Amino acid sequence: MFASDIIARYEAYCPQELSMEGDISGLQIGTLDKEVDKVLLALDIREQTVAEAIEAGAGLIIVKHAPIFRPLKDLVADRAQNQILLDLIRHDIAVYVSHTNIDVVSDGLNDWFCQLLEIRETEFLSQTAPDQGIGRVGRIEPQTFGAFAAKVKTAFGLDSLRLVAYEAADLERPIERVAVCGGSGQSFYKEALQKGAQVYITGDIYYHTAQEMLTEGLLALDPGHHIEVLFTEKLKEKLEAWKAEEGWQVDIIASQASTNPFRHI
């Protein structure tokens, strides 16, 4: 089937127009005007993702993080970063990016995080347009910060979890209102406070921002950026459902390549 038909159905669910200002979304490499029989879903495009796509024979990758996010100075083949792009072009693999639009859309990544962590009665963390917003704030069953941190670690299959808390005694603090934002959402922590969150879950929290959060009374959990890999599993469920509904003749593959650059000892 045509790649353009798959993307048309995707955009009916998750339009590019939901993306935050200045964000990268849509087709970034190749063409959608071609037939494909395999589609790969991935969080990142790295050399291992490209190798996986080539081996599988995928003609289209739907990815969350854009492979081109800084201006290119050249496409010289002996540069390792360039080789990733050149291999995609050489093997005629189209790359379609869905970044903040999948964070904003209803029944998208931030809602999937809430389902996983049993965060209910949610509202938007930060409004991006009428009836749209990035991140979510909601209620959990009353429990201690330590118990909830353990749940987050288990839910995301983490080898460690960074806590933003000055004292071990904070682990016993009772909580029931939580904010979550995938990726690097530290800039929204004041909105989390304004909406009554006691704990904020987001990745890539800076040292000084963590101190500011604590001064203002907000605990936080930093599970890392890579928790967004949930994108591949949940999007596969959606594409499989559309495939059954519309009789698509295409294989949907969730990437198994590890692109998390961090390990802890």
- pLDDT tens, residue order, the chain (265 aa): 999 999 999 999 999 999 999 999 999 999 999 999 999 999 999 999 999 999 999 999 999 999 999 999 999 999 999 999 999 999 999 999 999 999 999 999 999 999 999 999 999 999 999 999 999 999 999 999 999 999 999 999 999 999 999 999 999 999 999 999 999 999 999 999 999 999 999 999 999 999 999 999 999 999 999 999 999 999 999 999 999 999 999 999 999 999 999 999 9
> Quick count: other Cβ atoms within 10 Å of Cβ 124?
17
Determine contact, residues 138/120, Cβ cutoff 8 Å: yes
Closest CA to 128 of 18, 16, 261, 260: 18
Residue 68 Cα distances to 17, 73, 108, 183, 225, angstroms: 19, 11, 23, 17, 18
DSSP 56: H
pLDDT 10s digits, 169-194: 999 999 999 999 999 999 999 999 99
- What the chain holds in terms of domains, given with CATH numbers, is 3-100 (3.40.1390.30), 106-225 (3.40.1390.30)
* pLDDT value of residue 139: 98
pTM: 0.96
> Quick count: other Cβ atoms within 10 Å of Cβ 195?
18
Residues counted in the chain: 265
DSSP 99: -
* pLDDT value of residue 18: 97
> Quick count: other Cβ atoms within 10 Å of Cβ 249?
8
Interacting residues of 208 by C-beta distance below 8 A, sequence separation 6+? none
Closest CA to 157 of 233, 66, 101, 104: 233
* pLDDT value of residue 208: 98
Determine contact, residues 49/85, Cβ cutoff 8 Å: no
